[in-house]
A and B are shown apart, each in its own frame.
Chain A
Amino acid sequence: AQSVTQLGSHVSVSEGALVLLRCNYSSSVPPYLFWYVQYPNQGLQLLLKYTTGATLVKGINGFEAEFKKSETSFHLTKPSAHMSDAAEYFCAVSPSGNTGKLIFGQGTTLQVKP
């Protein structure tokens, strides 16, 4: 069965510091991988996704993620954190098939300190 593990339920960084949110997955087939962001009491917004092709994926708000097949990882990074980046971040993997179901990690809450 496919699964997603996000290391660290809470991550705290200072404004301007590097953001690194970790995501590891297990999948028996080449997966589609996603990062979503959720602000309080809002739905999930797509940050970026990997399907095929270039393994370094750039998303919105200056975020990027790199698909590393050998490490089964899809870590999310941003060079310089802004206060507005404080939110909950979810990594997800999509099993193959037309249903398009997503399997989510448990989420990581990012705190940005001034």
Chain B
Amino acid sequence: SQTIHQWPATLVQPVGSPLSLECTVEGTSNPNLYWYRQAAGRGLQLLFYSVGIGQISSEVPQNLSASRPQDRQFILSSKKLLLSDSGFYLCAWKGGNTQYFGPGTRLTVL
């Protein structure tokens, strides 16, 4: 069966520090992968998606970036965090016509 992992589960970072969040999927190959952000009191915002290794599409201009160095690995990064980057970050993979979500990473920028 397929599983999706995200780490870390929680992260507290100072403004201006770098960020790296990792997402990995097991039990499937060449999945579409997605990064979402859920800010407090707001819905889910699609940040990036990838249909294959090295293929990244950005949905919202911001100071975040994404990379897909391996088939089942999706990384969300930032060189300098802003206060507004705080939120709950969710990774998802697409199986058939359905997206399945990871457990999320709670990021607090102070």
Contacts and interface: CB of A to CB of B under 8 A. Distances in A.
Interface of A: 32, 34, 36, 41-46, 49, 51, 90, 94, 98-102, 104-107
A34 B98 CA distance: 8
A43 B103 contact: yes
Interface residues of B, number: 24
Looking at A36, A45, A99, A100, which has the most chain B CB atoms within 10 Å of its CB? A100
Given A104-B44, A106-B43, A98 B51 contact: yes
Contacts of A36: 101
A90 B43 contact: yes
Contacts of B102: 43
A44 B101 contact: yes
Contacts of A32: 97
Interface string B78-101: 000000000010101010011111
B57 A99 contact: yes
Task: In the A-B complex, list the 6 residue pairs whose CB atoms are closest, starting with the nearest.
Answer: A43-B101, A100-B94, A44-B101, A106-B43, A104-B44, A43-B103
Given A32-B97, A90-B44, 8 more contacts: A41-B88, A42-B104, A44-B90, A44-B92, A44-B101, A98-B32, A101-B46, A101-B59
